[in-house]
């Protein structure tokens, strides 16, 4: 099942491959540069009914000409089928591109990380035909953030690091450093990383801690229900309602139609955009403010009354 953590990992490795730096450093490879990286199709399905798909597949171009493939898999728990699937991914990509393959497993949980490192062997008796050894990016291979300046200098790596350590006892301190490090960003940049981190933290106590630190407004993950998204959508709706209210009152004023206090209160307290649109349409031809409410379920022969969202 594709989770928010999978989605975040998929995007962060494609858009910010510099987060692979800990793996490259440990292997003695030059740090990844986005200009030298090509995103490849994650589909490793053959002409068979079983679909197989890697989270992210990147082709790394080396200045020395020794190109290779990086296949990234996010693993939240132990999975019995991964031993065979990972071996298949490596063999398929090796055959398809005729390049060596580095399999990277991203694990937030130490127990899962210890399992994911393998090796996973295809063995008959004492003979090992194939062995799969993923490089694991987890709590033991990705250092914790200890300085808020890391967020300002390497935002992608800092965000990824916080996600990897989301189950660490120090996660609250890490998130606090990230929040303080974002002060140097412009609003749009801060909002982007703020939400990237919230989605990556998924349904964890760390996510709730991060929501408590958020002060910005916007959305880059529509439909994910982040705090920023909720705030943004609420503010957007409130702003649109105020605009429609102003149009209604301005129309009545220009047409020299008086607005009694009770009608004014009903109009200005309404938050229903559809209802406000209806009242605006009526304001174009109304002979009195009471005509705005004619036909409304809330209206009575005595005039408008306070009810519901448009009381």
Q: Is the predicted pLDDT of residue 7 greater than 60, yes or no?
A: no
Note the pTM of the prediction, 2 decimals. 0.65
Are 285 and 308 in contact by the 8 Å Cβ rule? The answer is no
Task: Identify the pLDDT of residue 309.
Answer: 62
Last residue of a domain, one of 86, 109, 137: 137
Find the range with the poorest average confidence among 43-52, 86-95, 121-130, 175-184.
Answer: 43-52
In this structure, is residue 185 part of a structural domain?
yes
Which residues in 170-190 are b (16+ Cβ under 10 Å) and which e? Answer: ebeebbebbbebbeebeeeeb
244: containing domain: 231-310
- DSSP structural state of residue 69: E
CA dihedral 125, 129, 134, 135 (to 10 degrees): 100
Task: Report d(CA 84, CA 129) in Å as an integer.
Answer: 13
Task: Identify the pLDDT of residue 16.
Answer: 84
Q: End-to-end distance of the chain based on CA atoms, in angstroms?
A: 45
Identify whether residues 180 and 239 lie together within a single domain. no
Identify whether residues 45 and 128 lie together within a single domain. yes
Axis crossing angle, helix 171-181 with helix 155-164, rounded to the nearest 10: 160
Number of domains in the chain: 3
In this structure, is residue 113 part of a structural domain?
yes
Q: Is the predicted pLDDT of residue 223 greater than 70, yes or no?
A: no
Identify whether residues 82 and 45 lie together within a single domain. yes
- DSSP structural state of residue 307: -
Last residue of a domain, one of 94, 114, 137: 137
Task: Report d(CA 74, CA 76) in Å as an integer.
Answer: 7
């Amino acid at each position: 099942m594709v989770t928010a953590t999978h989605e975040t990992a998929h995007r962060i490795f494609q858009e910010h491959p510099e987060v692979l730096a800990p793996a490259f450093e440990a292997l003695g490879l030059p740090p990844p540069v986005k200009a030298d990286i090509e995103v490849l199709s994650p589909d490793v399905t053959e002409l068979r009914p079983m679909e197989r798909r890697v989270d992210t597949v990147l082709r790394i171009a080396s200045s020395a000409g020794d190109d290779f493939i990086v296949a990234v898999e996010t693993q939240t728990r132990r999975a019995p089928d991964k031993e065979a699937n990972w071996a298949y991914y490596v063999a398929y990509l090796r055959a398809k591109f005729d390049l060596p393959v580095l399999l990277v497993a991203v694990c937030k949980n130490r127990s899962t990380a210890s399992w994911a490192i393998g090796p996973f062997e295809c063995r008959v008796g004492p003979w090992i035909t194939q062995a799969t050894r993923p490089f694991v990016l987890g709590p033991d291979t990705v250092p914790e953030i200890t300085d808020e300046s890391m967020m300002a200098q390497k935002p992608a790596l800092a965000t990824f690091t916080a996600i990897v350590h989301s189950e660490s006892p120090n996660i609250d301190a890490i998130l606090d450093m990230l929040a303080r490090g974002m002060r140097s960003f412009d609003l749009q940049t801060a909002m982007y990383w703020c939400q990237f981190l919230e989605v990556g933290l998924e349904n964890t106590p760390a996510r709730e801690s991060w929501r408590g630190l958020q002060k910005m407004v916007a959305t880059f993950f529509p439909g994910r229900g982040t705090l920023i998204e909720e705030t943004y959508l609420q503010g957007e709706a409130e702003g649109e309602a105020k605009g429609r209210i102003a149009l209604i009152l301005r129309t009545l004023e220009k047409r020299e139609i008086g607005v009694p206090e009770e009608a004014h209160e009903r109009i200005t307290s309404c938050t229903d955009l559809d209802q406000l649109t209806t009242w605006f349409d009526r304001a174009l031809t109304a002979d009195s403010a009471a005509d705005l409410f004619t036909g409304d379920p809330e209206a009575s022969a005595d005039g408008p009354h306070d009810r519901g969202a448009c009381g």
